[in-house]
Structure 1
Amino acid sequence: MTEVLPDEALSEREPIGRARSAPSGRAARPRVLFVSHTGTMSGAELVLRDAVQPWTGSTAFLFEDGTLAEALRGQGLEIRLAHRRTALTALRRDASPLSALPLLGRLGALMVEIARAARRCDVVYANSQKAFLLSALAARAVGRPLIWHLHDILDSAHFGRAQRILQVRLANLSAARVIVPSEAAARAFVSAGGRRSLVRVVPNGLDLERDPRPAASLRAELGLPAGPLVGVFSRIAPWKGQDVLIDALATLPGLRCIVVGAPLFGEDSYAAHLRDLAAARGLSDRILFLGQRDDVPRLMQAVDVVVHPSVDPEPFGRTLVEAMLAGVPVIATDTGASAEILDGEATGTLVPPRRPDRLAAALSELLGNPDAYAARTDRARARALSRYGASRMQHDLADLILEAVGRT
């Protein structure tokens, strides 16, 4: 359910009613301008792909072309690409705002383009931190309400102090709503100085159909090895903690692992480090680096356990929900939203971050007696189906869009 965090206390939450129905009929709904800074499909972009489904006929303004444009076009959106494509991957989230100075001319041109597109729409929906920073000024210039879908945790592990100050002050000044995927992300926004009254919690939602075949059949088709098999599924990045899993595997003879994902934002050196680390630990023959894949659900169903080893707080954890829907046991680090998603340890195992010894112990216990975890895995799937479906997310986001333009 969409929730509001009132000014009085973060722990006292007043629910907002669910949307009566997703918008239907172009004349009865506002026109939305969805803004994204990247054309690459990652977690936030997968959420956007599903979130726009009720808004056929609206517009997406993208700073660059790519698979996201193709996906949104397939959902019936009009795609507007920036005339002067400006790759913003060089602007790191933990860098000083001064690093943007060489790009001021291009950023200014982008703001003008967003403002022009916003004039044709009723509300601007910024789907990333970088998109928000430019959309906030553009929306304000043309008098359109702005929604910021904040997919990150605003803390020192992810953002520099100056960036956090700039973001929350701009949000306090210009955002009609700030959507976050978890209570952990909401608390971080408020702790950084954001207004509680702006925040709405809408958990990310997704749908996944399980393959009816047994894991052994899937492994044979996918070319995966027999025997105990662990999977880690996420973007290759230092804060995702794949190196911790490699250190844990070094103490567990005979256990193999697939690493699914790719470095997306200038993190190729870390990907190379992981391969070097595997070789140094004598694990090159036990760890398969599969890169980016479009068959993640089947790969998940083929492993014995999914590990989510992030070392810094996660704003959500899409991988956890995917694994729960796939009916596979989950081990995750107890940081950020993991405990929320897993309902404490009612539906999964939590271990401290940066502790390969604790991760190894959890893996050994689970794989040594998998039947003992069957009931918990069943509860996890039921929880994911009831709380984290795509339609629920779409309805809650529709409520907030309609609310922002005063059409509830």
Structure 2
Amino acid sequence: MSPPKVLFVSHSGAVSGAERVLLDVIEAFPQARAFVFEPGDLPARLTAAGVETTVSKGGATLSGARRDSSLRVILPLASALFGLTRELMAAMKDCDVVYANSQKAFTLAALACLLKRKPLVWHLHDILSPAHFGTLQRQLQTRLANLAACCVIVPSDAAAQAFIAAGGTAKRVAVVPNGVSREPDPRSKADLRRDMGLPEAGFLAGVFSRISPWKGQDIVLQALAGNPDITGVFAGSALFGEEAYASRLQRLVREFGLENRAIFLGQRSDILPLMQAMDVVIHPSTEPEPFGLTLVEAMLAGTPLLASDAGASAEILDNGRYGTLFAPANPAALITALTDLARMAAERPDDLAEITAAARERALTVYSVARMNDAIAGSVASATRQRLA
């Protein structure tokens, strides 16, 4: 039996965590095509990889619609939504199954699939918790999923439980941890720091995520203010209209006197080498995470981890076996964790090396791209055989 023809749908043209997963998943489907709502790095990279990619003519107008948008914002976009749905239906013509890679993509794909009677797989990269979404939005998403989706893929048990608690049908959920395929850089930590223009001496703590309030960069700045021996390195940018938060971070840098100890690198593609140059990677999310690619990448890099105990972090780190968990949104708890880790690095380096080696082995086995793609291929094959009830 030939592989199914899959149409992958993404609302974002930028490349963040969900889109990085998509770039790995799509490699498992040689006849795949892609439909992207807006131009950007994602459609460019898909095209470069040989994937036939359509960029919507009017989808970029939806960039003003956000999770917390009111009807006053949404209603004027109705015409654009209608036009985008028609474009998507045209792109679906020859596919066997549609694969929606985000909430916005799923909402329109669900409507189009119901009209065209196409099987739909939703890869839900969010965690449908009250911390992130209002009651009405959670109910709308889960009811639409129950109606239109053959399968809802989630990256963790935490995300699955949140989806079911919001009203989603449990039997349609497939838990497939995200896979990460990154090769470590052969250079030494000292060489990496020098080559990348980082401070060659001192204890460096790296934070790797987009600039967003719930990603917790402000918590790290507060912790740095309480620990003068540590320099923070922040990789990431404000992607989804969160420039006000980025400006707030710069005000905090000045307020805390961190001009020489808070380095903002912007968006970077050389994530693993940067992580290898760090003494610790911090994952400071203040709200539950559906997964946390940063955690797995740091494990592959062999760099010690500190992560807020929210969402999937405890799953990935096996309740602290492969890294230290600290209370979310708690600068004092982070200061304590940083101090303890720095002491361990100085006094018990062999013990720390043993933990990071075990973490790397876990990342290579549990969170491999091959394992993820095998599971997703099974879900997609099953979806092609299903008919909507």
Q: TM-score range by the shorter chain?
A: over 0.9
How much has 1:373 moved relative to structure 2? 1.9
Letter in 2 for 1:134: L
- Partners in 1 of 2:177 and 2:61 — Cα distance? 29
Matched, 1:71 2:50: no
When the two chains are superposed, the root-mean-square deviation of aligned CA atoms in Å is 1.2
- Partners in 1 of 2:295 and 2:276 — Cα distance? 13
Matched, 1:124 2:98: yes
How much has 1:95 moved relative to structure 2? 2.9
Deviations 1:382-408 (A, max 9, x none): 10001111111111111111110129x
Q: Could you say which residue in structure 1 is the equivalent of 2:151?
A: 177
Q: Could you say which residue in structure 2 is the equivalent of 1:351?
A: 326
Matched, 1:406 2:385: yes
Letter in 2 for 1:261: G
Matched, 1:285 2:260: yes
Matched, 1:385 2:360: no
Deviations 1:156-188 (A, max 9, x none): 211122211111110011100000000000000
Q: In terms of mean alpha carbon deviation, does 212-221 or 134-143 score higher?
A: 212-221
- Partners in 2 of 1:374 and 1:260 — Cα distance? 24
- Partners in 1 of 2:76 and 2:258 — Cα distance? 44
Q: Is this contact kept in 1: 2:235–2:264, CA < 8 A?
A: yes
Q: Could you say which residue in structure 2 is the equivalent of 1:200?
A: 174
- Partners in 2 of 1:116 and 1:405 — Cα distance? 19
Q: Is this contact kept in 1: 2:62–2:77, CA < 8 A?
A: no
- Partners in 2 of 1:355 and 1:297 — Cα distance? 27
Which ranges of structure 2 fall in alignment gaps of 5 or more residues? none
How much has 1:84 moved relative to structure 2? 2.2
Letter in 1 for 2:178: N
Q: Is this contact kept in 1: 2:88–2:109, CA < 8 A?
A: yes
Deviations 1:192-216 (A, max 9, x none): 0111011000111011111122211
Q: Name the SS of the counterpart of 1:87 in structure 2.
A: helix
Q: Could you say which residue in structure 2 is the equivalent of 1:153?
A: 127
How much has 1:83 moved relative to structure 2? 2.4
Matched, 1:31 2:10: no
Q: Is this contact kept in 1: 2:4–2:31, CA < 8 A?
A: no
Which ranges of structure 1 fall in alignment gaps of 5 or more residues? 1-26
Q: Could you say which residue in structure 2 is the equivalent of 1:317?
A: 292
Matched, 1:396 2:370: no
Q: Name the SS of the counterpart of 1:28 in structure 2.
A: coil
- Identify the match of residue 361 of structure 1 among 336, 355, 359: 336
- Partners in 2 of 1:160 and 1:133 — Cα distance? 16
- Identify the match of residue 312 of structure 2 among 337, 346, 354: 337
Q: Name the SS of the counterpart of 1:173 in structure 2.
A: helix
- Partners in 1 of 2:34 and 2:56 — Cα distance? 11
- Partners in 2 of 1:98 and 1:139 — Cα distance? 27
What TM-score does the superposition give when structure 1 sets the normalisation length? 0.91
Letter in 2 for 1:146: L
How much has 1:31 moved relative to structure 2? 0.6
Q: Is this contact kept in 1: 2:237–2:267, CA < 8 A?
A: yes
How much has 1:88 moved relative to structure 2? 2.5
Letter in 2 for 1:132: F
Deviations 1:241-292 (A, max 9, x none): 0000110111111211101100000000101111110110111111101100
Letter in 2 for 1:203: P
Letter in 1 for 2:207: V
What TM-score does the superposition give when structure 2 sets the normalisation length? 0.96
Deviations 1:289-321 (A, max 9, x none): 110011111110001000000000000000000
Q: Could you say which residue in structure 2 is the equivalent of 1:261?
A: 236
How much has 1:74 moved relative to structure 2? 2.8
